[in-house]
Amino acid sequence: MTLMELLRDDDGSDSANERILDAAYERFLAFGVRRTTVDDVARQAGLARITVYRRFARKNDLVHGVMLRELRRFLRDFERAVAPLPTAAEQVVEGFAVTLRVVRGHSLLARLLVTEPETILPHLTTGAAPYLAVAREFVAAHLDSPDAEAIAEMFVRVSLSFLLTPSSAIPLETDDQARAFARRHLVPFLNSGGP
Protein backbone atom coordinates (compact mmCIF):
# COMPACT_ATOMS: atom_id res chain seq x y z
CA MET A 1 0.00 0.00 0.00
CA THR A 2 1.42 3.41 -0.96
CA LEU A 3 1.46 6.35 1.41
CA MET A 4 -1.15 8.11 -0.72
CA GLU A 5 -3.42 5.08 -0.31
CA LEU A 6 -2.77 5.17 3.41
CA LEU A 7 -3.69 8.85 3.46
CA ARG A 8 -6.98 8.10 1.76
CA ASP A 9 -7.58 5.02 3.91
CA ASP A 10 -8.63 6.83 7.06
CA ASP A 11 -12.34 6.57 7.54
CA GLY A 12 -12.05 6.01 11.30
CA SER A 13 -13.63 2.58 10.98
CA ASP A 14 -10.84 0.82 12.88
CA SER A 15 -11.58 2.04 16.39
CA ALA A 16 -8.72 0.02 17.93
CA ASN A 17 -6.21 1.71 15.63
CA GLU A 18 -7.66 5.10 16.46
CA ARG A 19 -7.52 4.36 20.20
CA ILE A 20 -3.90 3.24 19.87
CA LEU A 21 -2.87 6.30 17.86
CA ASP A 22 -4.78 8.62 20.22
CA ALA A 23 -3.06 7.03 23.22
CA ALA A 24 0.36 7.16 21.55
CA TYR A 25 -0.12 10.83 20.66
CA GLU A 26 -1.12 11.67 24.23
CA ARG A 27 1.80 9.71 25.73
CA PHE A 28 4.31 11.21 23.28
CA LEU A 29 3.02 14.69 24.06
CA ALA A 30 3.11 14.19 27.84
CA PHE A 31 6.26 12.09 28.21
CA GLY A 32 8.08 12.10 24.87
CA VAL A 33 8.80 9.20 22.56
CA ARG A 34 11.85 7.92 24.48
CA ARG A 35 9.97 7.61 27.75
CA THR A 36 6.88 5.99 26.22
CA THR A 37 6.63 2.22 25.93
CA VAL A 38 4.19 0.13 23.96
CA ASP A 39 2.86 -1.09 27.33
CA ASP A 40 2.15 2.55 28.28
CA VAL A 41 0.24 3.04 25.04
CA ALA A 42 -1.73 -0.18 25.52
CA ARG A 43 -2.70 0.85 29.08
CA GLN A 44 -3.70 4.35 27.95
CA ALA A 45 -5.76 2.91 25.09
CA GLY A 46 -7.40 0.34 27.37
CA LEU A 47 -6.25 -2.50 25.11
CA ALA A 48 -4.17 -5.61 25.53
CA ARG A 49 -0.50 -5.22 24.75
CA ILE A 50 -0.75 -7.93 22.07
CA THR A 51 -3.46 -5.92 20.28
CA VAL A 52 -1.07 -2.99 19.95
CA TYR A 53 1.81 -5.24 18.83
CA ARG A 54 -0.34 -6.88 16.16
CA ARG A 55 -0.97 -3.50 14.59
CA PHE A 56 2.36 -1.82 15.36
CA ALA A 57 5.15 -4.40 15.69
CA ARG A 58 7.77 -1.89 16.88
CA LYS A 59 7.65 1.43 18.67
CA ASN A 60 9.04 3.04 15.53
CA ASP A 61 5.97 1.75 13.66
CA LEU A 62 3.83 3.49 16.26
CA VAL A 63 5.77 6.75 15.77
CA HIS A 64 5.34 6.37 12.00
CA GLY A 65 1.60 5.72 12.46
CA VAL A 66 1.16 8.86 14.57
CA MET A 67 3.17 10.95 12.09
CA LEU A 68 1.21 9.60 9.15
CA ARG A 69 -2.10 10.38 10.84
CA GLU A 70 -0.91 13.91 11.67
CA LEU A 71 0.23 14.38 8.07
CA ARG A 72 -3.18 13.18 6.91
CA ARG A 73 -4.88 15.73 9.19
CA PHE A 74 -2.58 18.50 8.00
CA LEU A 75 -3.26 17.74 4.33
CA ARG A 76 -7.00 17.89 4.99
CA ASP A 77 -6.63 21.30 6.66
CA PHE A 78 -4.42 22.43 3.79
CA GLU A 79 -6.98 21.27 1.24
CA ARG A 80 -9.80 23.13 3.03
CA ALA A 81 -7.73 26.31 3.01
CA VAL A 82 -6.62 26.27 -0.63
CA ALA A 83 -9.45 24.49 -2.48
CA PRO A 84 -11.79 27.52 -2.62
CA LEU A 85 -9.08 29.74 -4.13
CA PRO A 86 -9.48 30.24 -7.88
CA THR A 87 -5.85 30.31 -9.09
CA ALA A 88 -2.74 28.21 -8.52
CA ALA A 89 -0.88 31.37 -7.50
CA GLU A 90 -3.39 32.11 -4.75
CA GLN A 91 -3.24 28.48 -3.63
CA VAL A 92 0.57 28.59 -3.42
CA VAL A 93 0.48 31.81 -1.40
CA GLU A 94 -2.16 30.59 1.04
CA GLY A 95 -0.73 27.08 1.16
CA PHE A 96 2.67 28.37 2.25
CA ALA A 97 1.12 30.52 4.99
CA VAL A 98 -1.10 27.67 6.20
CA THR A 99 1.81 25.24 6.22
CA LEU A 100 4.00 27.47 8.37
CA ARG A 101 1.18 28.35 10.77
CA VAL A 102 -0.24 24.86 11.25
CA VAL A 103 3.02 22.97 11.45
CA ARG A 104 4.72 25.53 13.71
CA GLY A 105 1.67 25.37 15.99
CA HIS A 106 1.60 21.57 16.14
CA SER A 107 1.97 20.67 19.83
CA LEU A 108 3.65 17.31 19.46
CA LEU A 109 6.09 18.35 16.76
CA ALA A 110 7.07 21.49 18.67
CA ARG A 111 7.62 19.47 21.85
CA LEU A 112 9.73 16.80 20.17
CA LEU A 113 11.86 19.31 18.25
CA VAL A 114 12.78 20.93 21.57
CA THR A 115 13.01 17.94 23.92
CA GLU A 116 13.92 15.03 21.61
CA PRO A 117 15.36 16.36 18.38
CA GLU A 118 17.37 13.16 17.95
CA THR A 119 14.11 11.19 17.92
CA ILE A 120 12.08 13.31 15.51
CA LEU A 121 14.69 14.85 13.19
CA PRO A 122 15.54 11.60 11.39
CA HIS A 123 11.85 11.33 10.42
CA LEU A 124 12.03 14.88 9.02
CA THR A 125 15.46 14.73 7.37
CA THR A 126 17.30 11.56 6.34
CA GLY A 127 14.16 9.43 6.78
CA ALA A 128 11.74 11.98 5.35
CA ALA A 129 11.58 10.59 1.81
CA PRO A 130 8.18 8.87 2.24
CA TYR A 131 6.62 11.99 3.79
CA LEU A 132 8.18 14.28 1.18
CA ALA A 133 6.84 12.02 -1.57
CA VAL A 134 3.31 12.28 -0.17
CA ALA A 135 3.54 16.06 0.17
CA ARG A 136 5.11 16.43 -3.29
CA GLU A 137 2.39 14.29 -4.90
CA PHE A 138 -0.31 16.20 -3.05
CA VAL A 139 1.02 19.64 -4.06
CA ALA A 140 1.74 18.55 -7.64
CA ALA A 141 -1.89 17.47 -8.01
CA HIS A 142 -2.87 21.12 -7.43
CA LEU A 143 -0.55 22.49 -10.11
CA ASP A 144 -1.36 22.68 -13.80
CA SER A 145 2.13 22.47 -15.21
CA PRO A 146 4.23 19.91 -17.08
CA ASP A 147 6.84 20.51 -14.36
CA ALA A 148 4.33 20.15 -11.50
CA GLU A 149 6.36 17.50 -9.70
CA ALA A 150 9.60 19.53 -9.77
CA ILE A 151 7.81 22.70 -8.68
CA ALA A 152 6.00 20.84 -5.90
CA GLU A 153 9.28 19.31 -4.74
CA MET A 154 10.84 22.76 -4.47
CA PHE A 155 7.83 24.17 -2.58
CA VAL A 156 7.85 21.27 -0.11
CA ARG A 157 11.60 21.46 0.50
CA VAL A 158 11.54 25.25 0.99
CA SER A 159 8.67 24.89 3.47
CA LEU A 160 10.43 22.08 5.34
CA SER A 161 13.61 24.13 5.60
CA PHE A 162 11.76 27.08 7.14
CA LEU A 163 9.92 24.75 9.51
CA LEU A 164 13.04 22.97 10.75
CA THR A 165 15.13 26.14 11.02
CA PRO A 166 12.67 28.96 11.75
CA SER A 167 15.37 31.52 12.57
CA SER A 168 15.85 33.48 9.37
CA ALA A 169 16.70 36.86 7.90
CA ILE A 170 13.35 36.57 6.11
CA PRO A 171 10.42 37.72 8.25
CA LEU A 172 7.90 34.85 8.33
CA GLU A 173 6.34 35.17 11.78
CA THR A 174 2.87 36.13 10.53
CA ASP A 175 0.57 34.81 7.83
CA ASP A 176 0.87 38.12 5.97
CA GLN A 177 4.67 37.88 5.96
CA ALA A 178 4.49 34.28 4.73
CA ARG A 179 2.06 35.29 1.99
CA ALA A 180 4.29 38.18 0.89
CA PHE A 181 7.30 35.84 0.69
CA ALA A 182 5.34 33.24 -1.28
CA ARG A 183 3.97 35.87 -3.69
CA ARG A 184 7.42 37.26 -4.36
CA HIS A 185 9.56 34.13 -4.37
CA LEU A 186 7.40 31.02 -4.88
CA VAL A 187 4.68 32.09 -7.29
CA PRO A 188 7.19 33.03 -10.03
CA PHE A 189 8.17 29.34 -10.22
CA LEU A 190 4.67 28.57 -11.48
CA ASN A 191 5.32 30.57 -14.63
CA SER A 192 9.02 29.77 -15.04
CA GLY A 193 8.51 26.03 -15.47
CA GLY A 194 10.16 25.11 -12.19
CA PRO A 195 13.58 25.31 -10.57
pLDDT digits (tens, 9 = 90+) for 49-97: 999 999 999 998 999 899 889 988 998 899 999 999 999 899 999 999 9
162 versus 191: which is more confidently predicted? 162
Residue pair 195/154 in contact (Cβ under 8 Å)? The answer is yes
Averaged pLDDT, 105-123: 92
Averaged pLDDT, 12-16: 73
Handedness of CA 17, 53, 126, 133 (dihedral sign): negative
pLDDT at residue 117 greater than cutoff 80: yes
CA atoms within 13 Å, Cβ hemisphere of 178: 23
Record the pTM.
0.84
pLDDT for residue 98: 95
pLDDT at residue 157 greater than cutoff 90: yes
Averaged pLDDT, 119-128: 90
Confidence class of residue 142 from pLDDT cuts 50, 70 and 90?
Answer: confident
pLDDT for residue 195: 55
Confidence class of residue 3 from pLDDT cuts 50, 70 and 90?
Answer: very low
